[in-house]
């Protein structure tokens, strides 16, 4: 459930295919994950998990795996 929601947020925000969302997916490694997409991603994550991300966490969210770890912290 958590994984699906997280994956879907990435698919929507970066406008990529579901199979592209892997643990290795990282900021500025994938051509579509640039600063604009990052802004969209933050908004998408905040609305799907109903949370408000902190400055440091937004900057730290440099990969799909990292995003999972950060979101877990908020919903735990």
Partner 1 sequence: MMDFWSKSHFLQAPKTAYIVDSIAGEDSSAIAYSYQQVDSMIDTFINEQIKPDVYTGKKIIAIEANNQLGCLVAYLASLRLGYLVIFIDANLSTEQKNNLISEYAVDLVYQPKKTLIRHNNNKHGQTQKIAPQLALLLSTSGSTGSPKMVKLSYQNLSANCQSICQFLPIQQTDSVITTLPMHYSFGLSVIHTHLFRHSTLILSDFGVMEKSFWQLFKQYQVSCFYGVPFIYEMLQRLNYKRLPLKQVRFFAQAGGKMREAQIHHLHGFLTDKQQLFIMYGQTEATARIAYLEPAKLPAKAHCIGQAIPNGQLKLINENDLAADTTARTSGELCYRGDNVFCGYAHSSADLAELETIDWLKTGDIATRDTDGDYCIIGRTKRFIKIVGKRINLDEIQSWLDKRYPAICPVGKDDLLILTRCKRFESEIESEIESEIESELAEQLALFLGCHPRYIKQVQIPEMPINTNGKIDFMQLNKIALQALENQDANG
Which positions touch partner 1 (CB under 8 A)?
15, 27-28, 34-40, 42, 54-56, 58-60, 62
Query: CB 37 → partner 1: shortest distance, Å?
Result: 6
Whose structure tokens read 């998408």? 44
CB closer to partner 1 out of 25 and 37: 37
Rounded Cα–Cα distance for residues 51 and 25 (Å): 22
Question: In whole angstroms, what is the distance from residue 5 CA to residue 29 CA?
Answer: 22
* Residue closer to partner 1 (CB basis): 21 or 63: 63
CA distance 9 to 2: 11
CB of 40 to partner 1, least distance (A): 6
Structural tokens at position 75: 């919903």
Q: Which is nearer to partner 1, 2 or 36 (CB)?
A: 36
């Amino acid at each position: 459930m958590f994984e699906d929601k997280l994956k879907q947020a990435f698919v929507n925000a970066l406008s990529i295919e579901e199979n592209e969302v892997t643990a290795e997916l990282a900021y500025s490694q994938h051509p579509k994950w640039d600063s604009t997409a990052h802004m969209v991603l933050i908004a998408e994550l905040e609305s799907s998990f109903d949370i408000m991300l902190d400055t440091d966490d937004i900057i730290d969210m440099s990969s799909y795996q990292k995003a999972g770890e950060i979101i877990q912290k908020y919903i735990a």
